[in-house]
Amino acid sequence: VGPFTGASLQVAEPGFDKPSNLALWADGPRVEACFSELVEGLLFRTQSPKEALLEFANLQARTLERKPLVSLRAPSRAQFRKQLDLVAAYADLRGDRAMEIMAQVTPPMIFWSSVVGLTAHRHKKTLQLMDLVFSLCVHVEMRFKHIFACLRPVAMSPQIQPMIETPGHGSWPSGHATESFAVAVLLEALLNAASPKSGKPNGAASHEQLQRLAARIATNRVVAGVHFPVDSACGRLLGTALAEFTVARATGAKVHQRGFDSSLFEGPKGEPLDFHLHQSMNHTSGHAYTRSASSTGVGTAPLIAWLWEEAIKEWA
């Protein structure tokens, strides 16, 4: 090659701390950089033996202010014992859903593909955005699982006999439910943002199927014998809130505080409630699911905003 002549190539220098530098990196480092920005400022706080909150403080703001995102109140031991009857009844579906349950042990990307046409070669940034939300869900749900330390169904009866290995962490809230509803809400928002200005947004058109799929994945964990229906209900609330938080950090939108109070997740005579999509999550008070009437800003995260805009291009 001849004698060394030094740096002879002309290259554009990346800008200092520019979001566009994400285009230079491999998929893994790109998602890791976005994840560090997404979880920056998240705080957990316990208020009683049964209640805990997820809060957020924008650490880049001039004045730090803790803003509540999610409040959770765990079920009592008596509620879990009542819920066990529902878990035992769901076992009748194991024969029909066994293969589906096994396929959903790990993040079930192929199931989301069947609803919105998600493909690896066309939607690389979308898949990275989904990875980012999965990571956020695990980060938050594991902390809540530790705080509440709720036992699994198998710990209450030897007759439950789960059809898959029981995970080595707490039951409430359900991680699969949290992750599934987070993805459903994220994809709906992304498709809405990418839709033409005229006509019904694609996300809104896909809403029912996305929600039904999320509910199916959550319920399959009850069928498998590793969760209670109330776990799925709380996961639905938590996943929805985390997706809304992610979209708000990407777009500058505002979020509403959401809450789940398990003491209200019962029938009029104290009977255990099953998990259903028809249960509204938009009550302001007096119900298991609540959503505050007022909204609050959480600021825009530049790296997440870049990934969001790149994902939108894949659906335009």
Q: Is the pTM of this model over 0.85?
A: yes
In a domain, 16, yes or no: no
Query: Residue 261: which domain range?
Result: 25-313
Whole-number pLDDT of residue 99: 97
DSSP state, residue 201: -
**Cis status, amide bond into 162, omega within 30 of 0:** no
In a domain, 121, yes or no: yes
Mean of pLDDT values over 123-144: 98
Exposure of 88 by Cβ count < 10 A (0-12 exposed, 13-18 middle, 19+ buried)? middle
**CATH code for position 241:** 1.20.144.10
Q: Is the pLDDT of residue 149 over 90?
A: yes
In a domain, 187, yes or no: yes
The residue written with tokens 């956020």 in the block is: 136
Whole-number pLDDT of residue 55: 98
Mean of pLDDT values over 227-235: 98
In a domain, 291, yes or no: yes
pLDDT tens profile 22-41: 999 999 999 999 999 999 99
Q: Is the pLDDT of residue 255 over 90?
A: yes
Listing DSSP states for 104-141 in one string gives TSS--HHHHHHHH---TTT-HHHHHHHHHHHHHHHHHH
In a domain, 245, yes or no: yes
In a domain, 274, yes or no: yes
In a domain, 10, yes or no: no
Sign of the CA dihedral running 188, 190, 196, 197: positive
Rounded Cα distance between 227 and 141, Å, is 14
Q: Into how many domains does the chain fold?
A: 1
- Three-state SS at 71: strand
Mean of pLDDT values over 156-167: 97
Count Cβ atoms below 10 Å from residue 244 Cβ, excluding itself.
Answer: 23
Q: Is the pLDDT of residue 1 over 90?
A: no
In a domain, 127, yes or no: yes
pLDDT tens profile 93-121: 999 999 999 999 998 899 999 999 999 99
